[in-house]
Amino acid sequence: MTQSSPWPQLDGIAYGGDYNPEQWPVETWHEDVALMREAGVNLVSVGIFSWGLIETAEGVFDFSWMDELLDLLHANGIHVDLGTPTASPPAWFFANHPDARVVTRDGTTMGFGSRGMASHSAPAYREASVRIATELARRYATHPAVVMWHVHNEYGVPVGEDYSPHAVAAWRLWLRERYGSLDALNAAWGTAFWGQHYGEWEHVGAPAAAPSVVNPAQRLDFARFTDHQLRACFIAERDAIRQYADQPITTNFMANQSQTTDLWAWGREVDIVSDDHYLWAPDREGEIGLAIAADLSRSVGGGKPWILMEHSTSAVNWQPQNVAKRPGEMARNSLTHLGRGADAILFFQWRASRSGAEKFHSAMLPHAGTDSRVFREVTALGSDLAALAEVRGSRVRADAAILWDFESFWAQDLEWRPSDLLDHDERVRAYYTQLWRDGITVDFALPGHDLSGYSLVLAPAQYLLTTRDAANLTAYVAGGGTLVVSYFSAVVDENDAVHEGGYLAPLGEALGVRVEEFLPLREGDVAAIDLDDERLTIDQWSEDLRVDGAEVLARYVGGPADGAPAVTRNTHGAGVGWYVSTRPDAAGLAAILTRVYADAGLTPAGLPAGLERVTRHGRDADYVVLVNHSDAAVAAPVAGTDLLTGTASDDETVVAAGGVAVVRTPPTRGGGR
């Protein structure tokens, strides 16, 4: 075994997508590769769902078509990201191993005829998935087309949890490992309440559907267990491949769009982070959700360049209304990902399927063929990305961090919370949106990370916060940082148990406040807060907040907390801790953050409305990526050469309505390869 490479052996930005040629006769493959060359494609992912056509019966392999395919791609200079097909076990697998089927929380056994995971804990599945990964690696590790390995597909999507007998047996072992004794488990889960005390390990079940709410600590542990088992499946395949192959190994995440896996832990296991992102049609500012996904992908990979493994050229086919992308939108989406650190822009899928579940999904080569808007835009994007080759390897630098903690989200999403309007994604998005509009680049982070490099840290939804991580945040403030904490944070510990001392107690020192009681509002009710002489609208949530050293910057006007402190600012050591105990509207949050920026020494970029700006820092140059989401041309005060047009300017760059620009400017902060 040799050392794995940090990045597939490609020049420039990788461009291409999933390629599932087993749907067509070989003549079509020849047409495909010719058109791929025309479009500038240099990387395709193959074999992701091909298990049944490679292992045709248990232990019987037919590699002939894959041999031919890889040779053809290689002969045409197209590199391969080779999939292990374990997200879709074949019919023979489920027929031979019916016990390896997933059982849902309500006891339904999942059938065959779709795609999807077998039980992550079934020995037959573990064995079969390692076998196919091993055979593929043994055969193709040295194939010159193969530059990367793509294990499985989107672990945990659509189903991660499993309540089958194999899963329950593995769960008990996992609990024994975690707690050591039943006494420790009983204490962590608080089983003294509702008479749930366990006297035998065999009595500890999975948190299946029950007459009322199931113990939340048990459910939180089950989410951790599920994540652990899925990751164990990945690691087993990865290590099997690594015995033979030295190319980088990845598996595609769904960053913020599926939260069943703890991507901070997964980020440590992959050689390169890769992510799939699909716009959600009801979201009329989908570019902001997309930017979150991109920043999160970069962050879980420790800031290194990452791979956009899938997005769509136009409509998807699995939403209530599958809205087609309008001209220019695919390029804007792609450039946002690139600006936020992606060195590969790939799609699902190369050629649109004629049959099967995804035939109404867009593709690089649509049903309409090459004489189509989509194919013309695909080809134009290929040539734009070729012009950006020198951007590869450059890094994004962020002054601000937003805390994103999957465990906390899992815990917050359990039942019987003080209000069903509490929504961590909504809070993160609200804070992120304001920074996006202000042109302040964001990393995501965990509360236990070293945050000292950031001048601003935001905690929009940190419901679960361990005392240890709270101490880290407190030290961050003491060291000179500016911390902003939003409501319903630092409420519980790792066992979903309320902190001793009450809500927010672990951050008391940093914030100088404590929460005496939650005062949620009825849906639709509004109240206000007064911030200096501005009256700001709030809704959904207020608190009976007690000040313990902090300065009160805003008080409630009306609503259940009328007259009580609403927004506070506390000096602690060399830094400042802000607490926002309610949900201001967008204008209100902007007003609060303007004051926060002053503490953090940050200045909004003052961008024209709808213009997104991110900078990648290389060794020899910076690359300012400008994406114009508005329908008017805008001028940005960026001087340099637009790599897409070759135009040089010494004062400003004009970006066409709906257009993009990537401006090479002198290097400012180092970074790069």
Within 131-160, which residues bind ligand GAL (CB under 6 A)?
Answer: 153-154
Please count the other Cβ atoms lying within 10 Å of the Cβ belonging to residue 530: 15
CB of 158 to ligand GAL, least distance (A): 9
Going residue by residue from 304 to 343, which x/- string records binding to ligand GAL, judged by CB under 6 A?
------x-----x---------------------------
Q: Is 278 in the site for ligand GAL (CB under 6 A)?
A: yes
Nearer to ligand GAL, 9 or 317 (CB): 317
Please count the other Cβ atoms lying within 10 Å of the Cβ belonging to residue 317: 13
Helix (H), strand (E), coil (C) string for 118-183: CCCCCHHHHHHHHHHHHHHHHHHCCCCCEEEEEECCCCCCCCCCCCCHHHHHHHHHHHHHHHCCHH
The yes-or-no answer on residue 154 being catalytic is yes
CB of 100 to ligand GAL, least distance (A): 21
Amino acid identity of residue 38, one-letter, is E
b/e map 561-573, b = 16+ CB within 10 Å: beebbbbbbbebb
Nearer to ligand GAL, 201 or 318 (CB): 318
Nearer to ligand GAL, 253 or 579 (CB): 253
CB of 321 to ligand GAL, least distance (A): 15
Cβ(515)–Cβ(581) below 8 Å: yes
CB of 252 to ligand GAL, least distance (A): 7
Cβ(323)–Cβ(286) below 8 Å: no
Q: Is 377 in the site for ligand GAL (CB under 6 A)?
A: no
Nearer to ligand GAL, 316 or 625 (CB): 316
Q: Is 358 in the site for ligand GAL (CB under 6 A)?
A: yes
Angle, CA 376 vertex, CA 371 and CA 381 arms, to 5°: 160
Q: Is 19 in the site for ligand GAL (CB under 6 A)?
A: no
* Active-site residue identified among 154, 237, 329, 494: 154
Amino acid identity of residue 199, one-letter, is G
Nearer to ligand GAL, 153 or 489 (CB): 153
Q: Is 44 in the site for ligand GAL (CB under 6 A)?
A: no
Q: Is 348 in the site for ligand GAL (CB under 6 A)?
A: yes
- Please tell me the distance from the alpha carbon of residue 65 to that of residue 80, in angstroms, as a whole number: 15
Q: Is 425 in the site for ligand GAL (CB under 6 A)?
A: no
CB of 274 to ligand GAL, least distance (A): 11
* Active-site residue identified among 135, 287, 310, 377: 310
Cβ(376)–Cβ(45) below 8 Å: no
Chain centre to alpha carbon of residue 202: 36
The yes-or-no answer on residue 310 being catalytic is yes
CB of 433 to ligand GAL, least distance (A): 25
Residue 225: CB partners within 8 Å, gap ≥ 6?
Answer: 170, 171, 174, 175
- Please tell me the distance from the alpha carbon of residue 617 to that of residue 396, in angstroms, as a whole number: 6
Going residue by residue from 209 to 248, which x/- string records binding to ligand GAL, judged by CB under 6 A?
----------------------------------------
Total binding residues toward ligand GAL, as defined by CB under 6 A? 9
Nearer to ligand GAL, 242 or 361 (CB): 361
Angle, CA 338 vertex, CA 336 and CA 341 arms, to 5°: 110
Structure tokens at 217: 């600590």
Nearer to ligand GAL, 291 or 346 (CB): 346
CB of 316 to ligand GAL, least distance (A): 4
Q: Is 361 in the site for ligand GAL (CB under 6 A)?
A: yes
- Please tell me the distance from the alpha carbon of residue 615 to that of residue 482, in angstroms, as a whole number: 23
- Tell me the catalytic residues: 154, 310
Which residues are near ligand GAL by CB under 6 A?
153-154, 276, 278, 310, 316, 348, 358, 361
